[in-house]
Amino acid sequence: MPPHRYLHPWFARRPTPASRLAVLASVLPSGVDADDLLRWMQIGPSQGTDGESIVEYVARKKSNEDERDGTLQDHYDYPRPFTQSPSENERNEIHQLLRNQWDGELPTVQIQQLVAV
């Protein structure tokens, strides 16, 4: 399956982390750090990355995913992102950025379901 097809498979009961990330990034101001976006989506190790950015860490892990032993969680060293949610502090951080971007208001995101006919 082509990589863009992984964004949101039609049969998924929940949006994939990539879909959640795309929606969040679309309403945040430009210039938000990619590591912050990944951290808010719970993508990346909970412990430090020894000077490596989260983006670099995830890219390195993805590049050798086929060679892994054990589960994806063991390989990446963090839980599957769809099982996690941002902490209250992280949500407050996101909300503050959004309010600054949207004149004091939190934007409303409306997702419409596409139905094949």
Q: What are the residue boundaries of the structural domains of the chain, listed by start?
A: 3-101
Distance CA 91, CA 108 (A): 15
Of the candidates 75, 45, 79, 71, the one whose C-alpha atom is nearest the C-alpha of residue 61 is 75
Number of H helices, E strands in the chain: 5, 0
Helix/strand/coil for 54: helix
Q: What is the pLDDT along the chain (117 residues), one digit of tens a residue?
A: 566 555 555 555 666 777 788 888 999 999 999 999 988 988 888 666 678 888 888 888 889 888 888 888 888 888 888 788 889 999 999 999 999 999 999 998 876 666 665
